[in-house]
Amino acid sequence: MSEETYIAPFQLPDEKWREQLNDLEYHVLREQGTERAFTGEYTDTETAGTYSCRGCGAELFTSGEKFHSHCGWPSFFAPLAEDRVRYLQDNSIPGRPRVEVRCANCDGHLGHVFEGEGYDTPTDLRYCINSVSIKLHER
């Protein structure tokens, strides 16, 4: 499905997003921004639990798939389930195509996924996710 035709199941008008999210959360989730490296609250977290979308609450990742990539953002080798996220080609940086990861429920920007970086994980994928896009629910 193309970007133009995707309709997220969970939608809010822009003014409601602005009421619900702080400035940085809004910038990242709704404007495809990025938090600064090594500043997010979950970068080095090892607490067991489930990570949900900070915008809509959909469960996206678990601590079982989280790993230390030392890249400055929380990293996961897989989402909770493939239907929880969606992928878009991101050509915003000339000469450096990337794959954007969004919440499938509210279409909030989460981060990017990278392949073939050589991490010792079952998928050889690194979901590089902004801490402000997610919320940890401890077990």
Write the pLDDT tens digit of every residue in 86-131.
999 998 888 888 999 999 999 999 999 999 999 999 999 999 999 9
Q: Where are the domains of the chain?
A: 8-138
Which of the following is catalytic: 56, 103, 106, 128? 128
Residues 6+ apart with CB under 8 A from 81: none
Backbone angles phi, psi at 129, to 5 degrees: -115, 135
Q: What is the pTM of this model?
A: 0.92
Tell me what pLDDT residue 1 has.
39
CATH class of 8-138: mainly beta
Contact (CB, 8 A) for 72 and 37: yes
Contact (CB, 8 A) for 57 and 12: no
Tell me what pLDDT residue 2 has.
44
| Structure tokens, 5 | 């035709």
Is 128 tagged catalytic? yes
Share of the chain above pLDDT 90, in %: 86
Count of CA atoms in the C-beta half-sphere (13 A) of 10 = 16
